[in-house]
């Protein structure tokens, strides 16, 4: 009988695949139960749709002190100040705490200063971000962005860096000489998003065949071969 | 005078020791490797591209197919990322079930590694032992979610199926069984002189190199770096359990072997505590909106899979599909060190070193 409920629900739902999500109580109790759940879901939807939804998310994670400055604020300020002082005064475009991600300190750095910033972030005694855990490329349709997630294995402090680049001729200096692990990650981003990494030792495709046309993860990607 | 010349040899893409379709082009001088060029992408399915057209629940089965030896941890990293973005609470019972299946998965995954690694270097019977014992875990998973390999078990906000009656008792019975079998493994292999000669001191690197290459999991810990995300950046309910993080000192294949065997023991230790503390009842799904629509923004979460740090980076624009979904796959990152390790080694050691890294090609190519 719970199968019947499920299929009916799925048919009514705008997004069918969400229908099978909840385990249902059997029998007549299911109806009232489901009504209650529907109401809850509707409330949650409304809450999520409110304009200040980002602030809402952060207050959910730390309900008791929503407005207090984050303990990670000094870490962000320190990193930003160091880069401004030791790389270039205008190197940091933006510095903010990513509330959705547990207040991850995030810095947006200008592409021309990125390589020097990377050296600083890795070697400066008060940052020492020696472990590059992830490199992602993102196509925002207005611009491209490369995101670097770093962590210091000693102090366990995390930093995220973003480098924005033009969409028509995207180019971000390679940090492979700073962190070896960037090597394949940058190749993958080049392959799938077409971002050039000047200074990379061997920037060739890694996932797609060498003669592939286009970069599949770009939002405007059109398959070249109609059969593919 | 003997005329010598360099020999170009293709290992793979179809070769049993590559554990999938992975190819290494090696330049040989006699028996010694002068250069090794890994070639991958044969199993690239464009998971990240496909995900951009799917809602979050529909992406979960795709994560099963990345690291198909450890599908449960892959499930978890995706749902954990979405839960972090939406600030969702997961019920206690669901979180326990997740932890139990993840630790069982770690045991199963290490068993696959142990069996196939020994098969790679020429020992046939351990493979049969390992698969016999892994079968117990696979059967447990089958009972829980009806699948033996690609489970599609977790959901945003909880798990899809509650444990059937008696399931927890079966997990409880499995722990002493496996502990006993581990002693058998040690007797059979760990002290074997031929085995030791094959892997001791092979594929050595130091902590600095490992960190520079972004290695994680046993590949990092074998150099003495005590970095396990279950401890260093706790997620789920790992902070409630007692367990040790085994580390090595030499950074060679033998240390990686010992660490993985010890990790099985530690996982059993976690399981033992989890089964005792398992809440007798309660919901297995939290309160989740009908349509899962994380707020605009981005998140990067990471967990400790059997192979190392698996991460999930989601960029959301407030829609039910992700704008960009990137997986940080430990196999892909760990494999980068292979060409460096192979230079100057003999051909036979290629198999030993590649096997020691423990890759799953579905995850390398994604």
Convert the pLDDT of each residue in B28-37 to its tens digit. 988 899 999 9
Report which DSSP code applies to A210: T
Q: Please tell me the distance from the alpha carbon of residue B231 to that of residue B246, in angstroms, as a whole number.
A: 12
For A61-113, the pLDDT digits (tens) are 445 555 677 888 888 888 888 888 888 888 888 888 888 888 889 999 999 99
Rounded to an integer, the average pLDDT of A110-139 is: 91
Asked if A100 and B336 come within 8 Å (Cβ–Cβ), the reply is no
Element (H, E) at A83: helix A73-86
Question: Which of B84, B290, B291 is closest, CB to CB, to A101?
Answer: B84
Question: Which of B85, B213, B294 is closest, CB to CB, to A181?
Answer: B213
Q: What is the CATH number of the domain that holds A185?
A: 3.30.460.80
For B114-153, the pLDDT digits (tens) are 999 999 888 889 999 999 999 999 999 999 999 999 999 9
Question: Which of B40, B85, B313 is closest, CB to CB, to A206?
Answer: B40
- The least confident of A14-28, A45-59, A168-182, B237-251 is A14-28
Q: What pLDDT, on a 0 to 100 scale, did the predictor assign at position B326?
A: 93
The residue in chain A having the minimum alpha-carbon distance to the alpha carbon of residue B321 is A15
- The least confident of A167-171, B1-5, B246-250, B301-305 is B1-5
Q: Please tell me the distance from the alpha carbon of residue A10 to that of residue B189, in angstroms, as a whole number.
A: 53
Spatial contact of B261 and B185, defined as CB atoms under 8 Å apart: yes
Q: What pLDDT, on a 0 to 100 scale, did the predictor assign at position A12?
A: 42
Q: Which residues in chain B are contacts of A56 at CB distance < 8 A?
A: 295
Rounded to a whole number of angstroms, the distance between the first and last alpha carbons of chain A is: 43
Q: What pLDDT, on a 0 to 100 scale, did the predictor assign at position A6?
A: 45
Distance from CA of A21 to the nearest CA of B (A): 7
Q: Determine the residue among B220, B281, B300, B361 to mutate to test chain A binding: the one whose Cβ has the most chain A Cβ atoms within 10 Å.
A: B300
Q: What pLDDT, on a 0 to 100 scale, did the predictor assign at position A45?
A: 58
Percent of chain A topping pLDDT 70: 68
Question: What's chain A's average pLDDT?
Answer: 77
Q: What pLDDT, on a 0 to 100 scale, did the predictor assign at position A8?
A: 42
Calculate the alpha carbon distances from A210 to B6, B20, B42 in Å: 25, 21, 12
Strands B32-39 and B23-29: antiparallel
> Would you put residue B318 in left (φ > 0), alpha (ψ -120 to 50) or beta?
left
The sign of the dihedral angle between the CA atoms of A105, A111, A113, A119 is positive
Spatial contact of B252 and B230, defined as CB atoms under 8 Å apart: no
Distance from CA of B273 to the nearest CA of A (A): 27
Residue B327 has pLDDT above 80, yes or no: yes
Cis ω for the linkage preceding B13 (within 30 of 0): yes
Q: Fold for B44-365, please state it.
A: Cytochrome-c3 Hydrogenase; chain B (1.10.645)
Rounded to an integer, the average pLDDT of A20-36 is: 50
Q: State residue B76 phi and psi, 5-degree precision.
A: -65, -40
Rounded to an integer, the average pLDDT of B82-104 is: 92
Rounded to an integer, the average pLDDT of A7-21 is: 42
For B247-268, the pLDDT digits (tens) are 999 999 999 999 999 999 999 9
Q: What pLDDT, on a 0 to 100 scale, did the predictor assign at position B6?
A: 87
Q: What pLDDT, on a 0 to 100 scale, did the predictor assign at position B91?
A: 93
Query: Which range of residues forms the domain containing residue A126?
Result: 73-193
Q: What pLDDT, on a 0 to 100 scale, did the predictor assign at position A180?
A: 92
Q: Determine the residue among B54, B57, B324 to mutate to test chain A binding: the one whose Cβ has the most chain A Cβ atoms within 10 Å.
A: B324
Q: What pLDDT, on a 0 to 100 scale, did the predictor assign at position A34?
A: 60
Q: In total, how many domains does chain A have?
A: 1
Q: Please tell me the distance from the alpha carbon of residue A64 to that of residue A58, in angstroms, as a whole number.
A: 11
In a domain, A27, yes or no: no
User: Token pair 């020696």 is at which residue?
Assistant: A130
Question: What's chain B's average pLDDT?
Answer: 91
Q: What pLDDT, on a 0 to 100 scale, did the predictor assign at position A19?
A: 40
- The least confident of A18-27, A204-213, B12-21, B311-320 is A18-27
Q: What pLDDT, on a 0 to 100 scale, did the predictor assign at position A1?
A: 42
Q: Determine the residue among B87, B160, B302, B363 to mutate to test chain A binding: the one whose Cβ has the most chain A Cβ atoms within 10 Å.
A: B87
Rounded to an integer, the average pLDDT of B315-326 is: 92
SS3 assignment for chain B: CCCCCCEEEEECCEEHHHCEECEEEEEEECCEEEEEEEECCCCCCCHHHHHCCCCHHHHHHHHHCCCCCCHHHHHHHHHHHHHHHHCCCCCHHHHHHHHHHHHHHHHHHHHHHHHHHHHHCCCCHHHHHHHHHHHHHHHHHHHHHCCCCCCCCEECCEECCCCCCCHHHHHHHHHHHHHHHHHHHHHHHHCCHHHHHHHCCCCCCCHHHHHHCCCCCHHHHCCCCCCCHHHHCCCCCHHHCCCCCCCCCCCCHHHHHHHHHHHHHHHHHHHHHHHHHCCCCCCCECCCCCCCCCCCEEEEEEEEECCEEEEEEEEECCCCCCCEEEEECHHHHHHCCHHHHHCCCEHHHHHHHHHHHCCCHHHHHC
- The least confident of A19-28, A65-74, B81-90 is A19-28
Question: Which of A138, A153, A216 is closest, CB to CB, to B315?
Answer: A138
Please enumerate, as own/partner, the contacts of B163-169 that have beta carbons within 8 Å and a separation of 24 or more: B163/B97, B167/B140, B167/B143, B168/B100, B168/B275, B168/B278
- Of the pLDDT bands very low, low, confident and very high (cuts 50, 70, 90), residue A227 is low
Question: Which of B287, B296, B311 is closest, CB to CB, to A134?
Answer: B311
Rounded to a whole number of angstroms, the distance between the first and last alpha carbons of chain B is: 50
Q: Which residues in chain A are contacts of B285 at CB distance < 8 A?
A: 21-23
Q: What pLDDT, on a 0 to 100 scale, did the predictor assign at position A54?
A: 44
Q: Please tell me the distance from the alpha carbon of residue B310 to that of residue B328, in angstroms, as a whole number.
A: 5
Distance from CA of B151 to the nearest CA of A (A): 15
Residue B366 has pLDDT above 90, yes or no: no
- Of the pLDDT bands very low, low, confident and very high (cuts 50, 70, 90), residue A52 is very low
Percent of chain B topping pLDDT 90: 70
């Amino acid at each position: 009988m719970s199968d019947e409920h499920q299929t009916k629900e799925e048919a009514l739902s705008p997004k069918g695949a969400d229908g099978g999500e909840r385990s249902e109580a059997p029998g007549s109790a299911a109806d009232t139960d489901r009504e209650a759940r529907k109401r809850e879901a509707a409330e949650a939807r409304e809450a999520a749709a409110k304009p200040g939804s980002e602030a809402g998310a952060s207050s959910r994670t730390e309900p008791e002190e929503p407005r207090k400055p984050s303990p990670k604020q000094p870490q962000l300020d320190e990193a930003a100040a160091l880069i401004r002082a030791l790389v270039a005064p205008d190197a940091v475009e933006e510095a903010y705490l990513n509330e959705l991600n547990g207040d991850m300190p995030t810095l947006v750095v200008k592409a021309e200063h990125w390589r020097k910033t990377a050296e600083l972030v890795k070697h400066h005694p008060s940052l020492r971000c020696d472990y590059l855990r992830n490199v992602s490329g993102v196509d925002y349709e207005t611009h491209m962005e490369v995101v670097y997630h770093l962590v210091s294995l000693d102090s366990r402090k995390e930093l995220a860096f973003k480098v924005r680049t033009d969409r028509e001729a995207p180019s971000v200096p390679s940090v492979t000489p700073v962190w070896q692990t960037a090597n394949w990650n940058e190749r993958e981003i080049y392959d799938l998003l077409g971002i050039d990494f000047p200074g990379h030792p061997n920037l060739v495709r890694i996932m797609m065949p060498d003669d592939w046309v286009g970069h599949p993860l770009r939002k405007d990607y059109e398959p070249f071969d109609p059969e593919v | 005078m003997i005329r010598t010349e360099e020999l170009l040899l293709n290992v793979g893409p179809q070769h049993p020791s590559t554990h999938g379709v992975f190819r290494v082009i090696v330049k040989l001088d006699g028996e010694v490797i002068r250069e090794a060029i890994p070639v991958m992408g044969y199993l690239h399915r464009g998971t990240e591209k496909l995900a951009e057209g799917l809602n979050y629940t529909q992406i979960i089965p795709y994560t099963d197919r990345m690291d198909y030896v450890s599908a449960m941890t892959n499930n978890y990293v995706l749902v954990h990322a979405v839960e972090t973005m939406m600030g969702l609470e997961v019920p206690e019972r669901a979180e326990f079930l997740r932890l139990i299946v993840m630790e069982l998965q770690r045991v199963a995954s290490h068993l696959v590694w142990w069996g196939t690694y020994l098969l790679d270097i020429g020992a046939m019977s351990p493979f049969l032992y390992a698969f016999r014992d892994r079968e117990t875990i696979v059967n447990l998973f089958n009972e829980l979610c009806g699948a033996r390999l690609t489970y599609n078990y977790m959901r945003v906000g909880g798990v899809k199926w509650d444990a059937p009656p008696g399931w927890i008792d079966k997990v409880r019975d499995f722990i002493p069984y496996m502990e006993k079998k581990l002693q058998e493994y040690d007797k059979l292999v760990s002290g074997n002189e031929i085995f030791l000669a094959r892997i001791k001191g092979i594929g050595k690197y130091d902590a600095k190199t490992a960190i520079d290459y972004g290695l994680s999991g046993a590949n990092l810990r074998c150099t003495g770096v005590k970095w396990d995300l279950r401890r260093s950046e706790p997620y789920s309910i790992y902070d409630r359990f007692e367990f040790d993080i085994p580390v090595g000192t030499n950074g060679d294949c033998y240390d990686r072997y010992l660490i993985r065997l010890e990790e099985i023991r530690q996982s059993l230790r976690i399981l033992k505590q989890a089964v005792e503390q398992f809440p007798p009842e309660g919901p297995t799904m939290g309160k989740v909106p009908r349509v899962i629509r994380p707020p605009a923004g981005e998140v990067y979460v990471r967990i400790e899979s059997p192979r190392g740090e698996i991460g999930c980076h989601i960029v959301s624009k407030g829609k039910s599909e992700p704008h960009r979904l990137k997986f940080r796959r430990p196999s892909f990152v760990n494999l980068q060190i292979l060409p460096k390790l192979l230079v100057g080694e003999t051909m036979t050691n290629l198999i030993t070193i590649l096997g020691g890294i423990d890759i799953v090609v579905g995850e390398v190519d994604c």
